[in-house]
């Protein structure tokens, strides 16, 4: 959802006249399907990550589940979710559909294949890898996290003309520069003591509690900023625990100012979600990745390690790694420099510019065929996501200088 929100915010900055709708695909199409699919997905990650990792690898390029298995899965999703979405797309008639998750992308691809949607279809891939579940011939453009992913796209038969290495779209707040010392003081932290950001992802998954205990036992001079995400029970537990710790600790739940917390930190310890890695890179923040989950987290970890912006460590090696990096500031500085090289803080704006350019190009092509378009026109962007959030269509002002394709 954060990627979709970043795109919407960027559109509002660049083109205030654009009408942007964020649609939680499964919640809108079938609440039951949402519970089954998303629930099963999260439970598998929590309880049987090894099985999830096996299925993920078996559906990568050239593996058994990347062909018929993917097509069958997508067929079932379409049968269950497409009917309501068909009516929505017909009524809304967007110029662009951009999907930030592979499940709704499969549905949108089917709509385009059937001629129900005739605009531009974008896939905004939210990990630093390409997976078969993102690959559909109906997709006009792929927005990927890095130039190094273009060869991966070619392995799937996606030509470079359909790929744009915008970076993973993140909030425009990551474009700004922040005063580390001032933010530390605002947070009640010591301005001159190193701060470590400890994160477990938006759902607070990962060994946060154990990592906090381990770091406190190192007796090294530093401060901890802990983010538990939406896991309120863990937040309450950690707040009780920090009263007995020797180092200064600030515990946060779900936050909307993660850019401030990253700006206050010297490095981050946590999981390797694609969006989190993109945000850290945009802030030139080194990442120590603890035991990534099998699947896309492993691929994100490989990307971060190869770029020099991150390093993979085991939970038991955490104290030694923290002491090592705090004792060698040059090593941290090198990782920060590497992060800045792969960071793309303006990814969301670049993605929106590409969408507008694509619609304009399509308009010129249609005009060459002498197909009538309305004289009062505007852009519409429909963002399809897949997550446990409320469906919230939002409309903004309309200007006649923009183009809506109603071919």
The overall average pLDDT reported for the chain is 84
Instruction: Quote the pLDDT of residue 400.
Output: 22
Poorest-confidence range of 4-18, 232-246, 354-368, 370-384? 370-384
CA–CA gap between residue 126 and residue 348 (Å, rounded): 12
Give the range among 60-64, 131-135, 331-335, 348-352 with minimum mean pLDDT: 60-64
Find the angle CA(30)-CA(35)-CA(38) to the nearest 5 degrees: 105
Q: Specify the pLDDT at position 204.
A: 53
Average pLDDT over residues 185-197: 93
pLDDT at 63: 86
Per-residue pLDDT at 406 exceeds 60: no
- Residue 137 scores a pLDDT above 90: yes
Q: Give the model confidence (pLDDT) of 296-355 as tens digits.
A: 999 999 999 999 999 999 888 888 898 889 889 999 999 999 999 999 999 999 999 999
pLDDT of residue 24: 86
**Half-sphere exposure (Cβ direction) of 267: Cα atoms closer than 13 Å:** 28
Q: Mind giving me the DSSP string for 45-63?
A: HHH-HHHHHHHHHHTSTTS
Q: Which of 38-42, 140-144, 365-369 has the highest mean pLDDT?
A: 140-144
φ/ψ region of 219 (left if φ > 0, alpha if ψ in -120 to 50, else beta) reads: left
Choose the most confident range, by mean pLDDT, from 26-40, 108-122, 236-250: 108-122
Residue 26 has φ and ψ, to the nearest 5°, of -70, -40
Instruction: Flag whether pLDDT at 178 surpasses 60.
Output: yes
Domains of the chain, first to last: 2-165+346-393 (no CATH), 172-342 (3.40.50.2000)
pLDDT at 203 over 60: no
Most confident by average pLDDT, 28-42, 73-87, 286-300: 286-300
pLDDT for residue 200 is more than 80: no
List the beta strands (DSSP E) in 117-274.
Answer: 120-124, 141-143, 163-164, 195-199, 223-227, 249-252, 267-270
Q: DSSP assignment of 4-35, as one string?
A: HHHHHHHHHHH-TT-EEEEEEHHHHH-HHHHH
Q: What percent of the chain has pLDDT over 90?
A: 50
Mean pLDDT over residues 233-260, rounded? Answer: 89
Instruction: Judge contact between 98 and 122, C-beta under 8 A.
Output: yes
Per the listing, tokens 């945000």 go with 279
The most confident of the ranges 56-70, 96-110, 191-205 is: 96-110
Cα–Cα–Cα angle for 114, 116, 121, rounded to 5 degrees = 90
Identify the band that residue 366 occupies on the pLDDT scale cut at 50, 70 and 90: low
Query: How many contiguous H segments (helices) and E segments (strands) does the chain have?
Result: 16, 13
What pLDDT does 376 receive?
34
- Residue found under tokens 């939970």: 315
Average pLDDT over residues 379-400: 42
* Tens-digit pLDDT profile for residues 90-108: 988 888 999 999 988 999 9
| pLDDT at site 391 | 26
Q: Are 192 and 222 in contact (CB under 8 A)?
A: no
Q: What is the pLDDT of residue 375?
A: 36
Which residues share a beta bridge with 124? Answer: 143
pLDDT score, position 69: 83
Q: How many CB atoms lie within 10 A of CB 195?
A: 22
Q: Looking at the predicted structure, is the pLDDT value of residue 368 above 60?
A: no
Q: What's the average model confidence in pLDDT over 169-191?
A: 95
Task: Quickly state the pLDDT bin for 21 (edges 50, 70, 90).
Answer: confident
Handedness of CA 144, 129, 109, 99 (dihedral sign): negative
């Amino acid at each position: 959802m954060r990627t979709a929100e970043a795109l919407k915010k960027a559109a509002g900055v660049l083109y205030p006249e654009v009408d942007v709708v964020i649609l939680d695909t499964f919640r809108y199409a079938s609440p039951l399907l949402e519970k089954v699919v998303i629930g099963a997905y999260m439970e598998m990650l929590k309880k049987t990550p090894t099985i999830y990792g096996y299925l993920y690898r078996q559906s990568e390029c050239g593996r058994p589940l990347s062909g018929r298995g993917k097509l069958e899965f997508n067929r079932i999703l379409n049968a269950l979710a497409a009917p309501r979405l068909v009516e929505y797309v017909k009524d809304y008639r967007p110029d662009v559909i951009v999907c930030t998750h592979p499940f709704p992308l499969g549905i949108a691809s089917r709509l385009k294949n059937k001629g129900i949607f005739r605009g531009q279809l974008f896939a905004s891939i939210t990990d630093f890898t390409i997976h078969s579940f993102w690959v559909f011939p109906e997709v006009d453009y792929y927005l990927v996290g890095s130039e190094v992913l273009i060869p991966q796209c070619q392995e799937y038969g996606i030509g470079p003309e359909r790929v744009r290495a915008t970076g993973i779209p993140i909030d425009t707040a990551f474009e700004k520069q922040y005063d580390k010392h001032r933010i530390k003081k605002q947070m009640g932290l010591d301005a001159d003591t190193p701060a470590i950001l400890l994160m477990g992802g938006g759902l607070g998954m990962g060994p946060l509690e154990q990592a906090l205990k381990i770091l406190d036992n190192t007796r090294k001079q530093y401060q901890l900023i802990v983010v538990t995400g939406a896991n309120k029970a863990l937040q309450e537990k950690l707040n009780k625990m920090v009263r007995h710790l020797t180092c200064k600790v600030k515990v946060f739940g779900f936050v909307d100012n993660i850019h401030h917390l990253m700006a206050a930190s010297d490095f981050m310890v946590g999981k390797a979600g694609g969006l989190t890695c993109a945000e850290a890179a945009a802030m030139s923040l080194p990442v120590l990745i603890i035991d990534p989950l099998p699947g896309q987290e492993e691929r994100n970890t490989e990307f971060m390690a190869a770029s020099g912006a991150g390093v993979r460590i085991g939970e038991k090696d955490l104290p030694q790694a923290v002491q090592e990096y705090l004792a060698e500031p040059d090593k941290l500085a090198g990782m920060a420099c590497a992060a800045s090289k792969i960071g793309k803080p303006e990814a969301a704006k670049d993605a929106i510019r590409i969408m507008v350019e694509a619609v304009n190009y399509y308009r010129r092509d249609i005009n060459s065929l002498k197909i009538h378009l309305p004289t009062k026109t505007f852009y519409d962007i429909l963002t399809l996501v897949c997550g446990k959030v409320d469906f919230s269509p939002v409309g903004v002002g309309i200007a006649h200088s923009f183009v809506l394709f109603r071919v």
